[in-house]
Structure 1
């Protein structure tokens, strides 16, 4: 009986120790080892949160025009490739012997855009910036002086993939490629920007702080002048057309729809920049020339009216800024 009682007492002690969580030292060590093994086998993936920066393409993602050859018109040494009209551009090639060639792009009821075609046996890019509709594209050879003969004339129906396409690609007036210096500089300026407005601000500040106005060029420039954006960037010098083209190239290369606009500031012929900002739409004259200096408009005034009243009154007065061409 005593043995039975002692055994029963011992069993009760073990039971109580177990119930209240107390175990002999060996039992505790074994349990802890088992627990540790279970914890190590339960793996949870935790990723570091990314810093929110502006979503921009790498240099290789820059939109580049292509003469795909799927929709072409050939006549009198001129070839019109309209394969990518839905992306907002056509390409023209001339293989004849005339020394001076013009290309005209005309949307029914719109402005007539007239360009010099400078390349021979190579394609040049001409934008379709007037939206959807029927366009006529002409190639003309100089007869004498300002007289030109129409060598080819073709109509194309344009239905854009979206309204931004013409303002993301390079063209004759805003001419860049994925390897251009302006694209590399644009990427640097956008690298730490948190949104597209900051990219616009960075590009504007870089240009106005580093470029000087080329008075000699302004006094001698001839009709048909085209900005060479990489040369302008290297020289840090140019006319208002150059400033606008460099800024437009940098912004387009960062996937920000940008219009290079040419028209009148009062009675003076100038260029300025319109930019599409997510959540606000197209902001006209966001980077503009007031006849004396380049200025950056605070784009928030478009919705809040918080900009300098004098600037707001000036840039919203149609008699001060009248767009004629958009490239």
Structure 2
């Protein structure tokens, strides 16, 4: 079969004009008791080989679906590869897949259920042929796993400069909200918006959090990935969310706070700069009237994918 694809999310300069909106607090079924790690705590994805599916073109390691991730590697000879991951009844997540033969990590962001995993090889232009297909049933026992482990979009490890910096930045914090605040303040004070990169970024771009940290500049996708990596390494479940603000694609951050549940868009963009919202919603006095009106209109922000 041949399948035509639309380009993967492109975060261009025009996106800087969009708002990052604040939505409601969602309380999950299971609570999480938070203890700040000594330094940092990085979960490491493992392709253990206990449960695998393969053919001559690709291998899927589903050994750790209970932790909320799968690992896929391409073993064929074509240079341009896509992988699609679809939970029954949910959005299809399309990723570029490296031709290096090395496993890459993909979150099961939509929770427990039946997932279809398909690998496609490029034939020409935007035409692809299916090279691998497998259905996987996932019972995710660690509901926060997809948003604590590193993955292709939020790629880090224990040796990452982003993790080490995150530990230093969070050292003075006494609770989750202070960790979020410290990370937010560090990133916005040390990373500038790269307008040249935003105007030239290509489809399929993946953030490198350590490069962003070293160069001290990036696009909104870079900001979101860097902050997400830092927060996850502090044991704070964090979603890098891609969706629409108005008619533009953008990225923002949701975090899970003990006693409150998931707080959507805790770090958002107001059209000019990054902002940290008041997640308690105890008072709206700290928010501008314009922002509060924008928040009240749910059509202004629509999450599409969570990584």
**Residues 182-261 of structure 1: pairs in structure 2 closer than 5 A:** 182-261=162-241
**Residues 9-20 of structure 1: pairs in structure 2 closer than 5 A:** none
Residue 252 of structure 2 corresponds to residue 272 of structure 1:
yes
Normalised by the length of structure 2, the TM-score is 0.86
CA contact (8 A) 1:73 1:79 kept: yes
- Structure 2 residue matching 1:170: 3-state secondary structure: coil
Cα distance per residue 1:164-221 (max 9 Å; x no partner): 1100000000000000000001101111101000000000001111111000000000
Q: How much has 1:118 moved relative to structure 2?
A: 1.7
Q: How much has 1:140 moved relative to structure 2?
A: 0.7
Normalised by the length of structure 1, the TM-score is 0.81
Q: How much has 1:311 moved relative to structure 2?
A: 2.4
CA–CA distance in structure 2, aligned partners of residues 296 and 57 of structure 1: 25
Aligned match of 1:315: 295
- Are the structure 2 counterparts of residues 54 and 87 from structure 1 closer, same or farther at C-alpha, using a change threshold of 3 Å? closer
- Structure 2 residue matching 1:109: 3-state secondary structure: coil
CA–CA distance in structure 2, aligned partners of residues 313 and 133 of structure 1: 37
Q: How much has 1:312 moved relative to structure 2?
A: 3.2
Larger % of helix: which?
1
CA–CA distance in structure 2, aligned partners of residues 136 and 315 of structure 1: 35
CA–CA distance in structure 1, aligned partners of residues 233 and 225 of structure 2: 12
Match among 12, 36, 46 for residue 55 of structure 1: 36
Aligned length: 273
CA–CA distance in structure 1, aligned partners of residues 294 and 208 of structure 2: 30
Aligned match of 1:77: 57
Cα distance per residue 1:125-161 (max 9 Å; x no partner): 1111001111001111011111111111111111111
RMSD: 1.5
CA contact (8 A) 2:39 2:168 kept: no
Match among 42, 66, 82 for residue 86 of structure 1: 66
Q: Which runs of 5+ in 2 are unaligned?
A: 1-33
Cα distance per residue 1:28-82 (max 9 Å; x no partner): xxxxxxxxxxxxxxxxxxxxxxxxx9622544x3101000100100013200000
Match among 133, 145, 148 for residue 125 of structure 2: 145
Match among 150, 162, 180 for residue 170 of structure 1: 150
Residue 298 of structure 2 corresponds to residue 325 of structure 1:
no
Larger radius of gyration: 1
CA contact (8 A) 2:81 2:99 kept: no
Cα distance per residue 1:269-309 (max 9 Å; x no partner): 110000000001110010012332211111111x5555525
Structure with the bigger RCO (C-alpha within 8 Å, sep 6+) is 2
Aligned match of 2:112: 132
- Structure 1 residue matching 2:293: 3-state secondary structure: helix
Q: Which runs of 5+ in 1 are unaligned?
A: 1-52
CA contact (8 A) 1:271 1:289 kept: no
CA contact (8 A) 1:266 1:319 kept: yes
